[in-house]
Amino acid sequence: MKRPQLFLLHFAGGNCYSFQFLTSRLKDFDVVPLELPGRGRRLKENLLKEFDQAAGDIFNQVMEKLTSDNFLIYGHSMGAYLALRITNMLAEKEKFPICLFVSGNAGPDVRENKNRYLLAHDDFIAELKKLGGVPPEFTENKELFDFFEPILRADFEIAERNNMKDEQPVSVPLYAMMGSEELHVDKIANWARFTLLEFDYEVLPGDHFFIYDHPEKLAGIIKQNYKRMVMVPQL
């Protein structure tokens, strides 16, 4: 029997390598890390800055790599918004993941009215530090930061200018996760509005990048929910 596919959608500034901390713990899955243009294996491609273009790019990758109806989708932060949109896009093709996992934000319409992608250099760095997960050597190394800054700004523009105000709920079970120190963690249940089926959530200790502190827990949540979902007939 084929292993279930697990599509991974990265956060702002991420790439197909961003989930390597997790993949070794998901050997029962065919893990498929995706990435937007302009980074990782797609470094020579032009960056995207519009949400619909980014969603279309990810959707095309999923459709190209999808091998069965036995699959799941997980996105963190920017990737969570994209995961929700492409799940709706897949429904139009009568493709439904077993479960949709999201983390790193409280869902569409629960966010600060900030356009981080427009901030001046020093203010942009300050915002990155607030989010956590940014080592000092990253922002202090001019050559390194100059390389990643356009990628980060493009991704923030995608995330912050998403047009998901009237996003339709999906007919897929949805599981949300956030770090205990994240802004709006108290509103994590907002994600329940975006599914017509089962919803659950968990808050784990940590900041926006809490996922790196809890690889075993994160992998366990994915495994347990998959096993439970495939045993429960979907209505």
Give the tens place of pLDDT for each residue, 158-205: 998 888 878 999 999 999 999 999 999 999 999 999 999 999 999 999
Tell me how far apart the alpha carbons of residues 17 and 74 are, in angstroms, rounded to a whole number.
14
pLDDT tier for residue 130 given thresholds of 50, 70 and 90: confident
Q: Would you state the pLDDT for residue 27? A: 95
What confidence category does residue 232 fall into, taking pLDDT thresholds of 50, 70 and 90? low
The pLDDT tens digits of the residues spanning 60-119 come to 999 999 999 999 999 999 999 999 999 999 999 999 999 999 999 999 988 766 788 888
Instruction: Report the C-alpha gap between 153 and 194 in whole angstroms.
Output: 27
Q: Would you state the pLDDT for residue 234? A: 45
Q: CA 34 to CA 126: how far, in whole Å?
A: 28
- Distance, CA of 157 to CA of 118 (rounded, Å): 8
Q: Is 115 helix (H, G, I), strand (E, B) or coil?
A: coil
Q: Can you tell me the distance from the alpha carbon of 174 to that of 72, in angstroms, rounded to the nearest whole number?
A: 10
CATH superfamily of 5-231: Alpha/Beta hydrolase fold, catalytic domain (3.40.50.1820)
Query: How many angstroms separate the most distant Cα atoms in the chain?
Result: 54
pTM for the predicted model, two decimal places? 0.93
In this predicted structure, what is the pLDDT of residue 101?
A: 98
What digits encode the pLDDT tens for the residues 6-35? 999 999 999 999 999 999 999 999 999 999
| pLDDT at residue 139 in the model | 80
Q: Specify the pLDDT at position 235.
A: 38
Q: Which two tokens stand for residue 152?
A: 């980060």
- Once rounded to an integer, what is the mean pLDDT over residues 121-140? 81
Which pLDDT does position 51 carry in this prediction? 96
- The pLDDT of residue 110 is 81
Residue pair 203/175 in contact (Cβ under 8 Å)? The answer is no
Q: Distance between CA atoms of 7 and 4, rounded to whole angstroms?
A: 10
The answer for residues whose C-beta is within 8 angstroms of residue 163's C-beta and 6 or more apart is: 51, 52
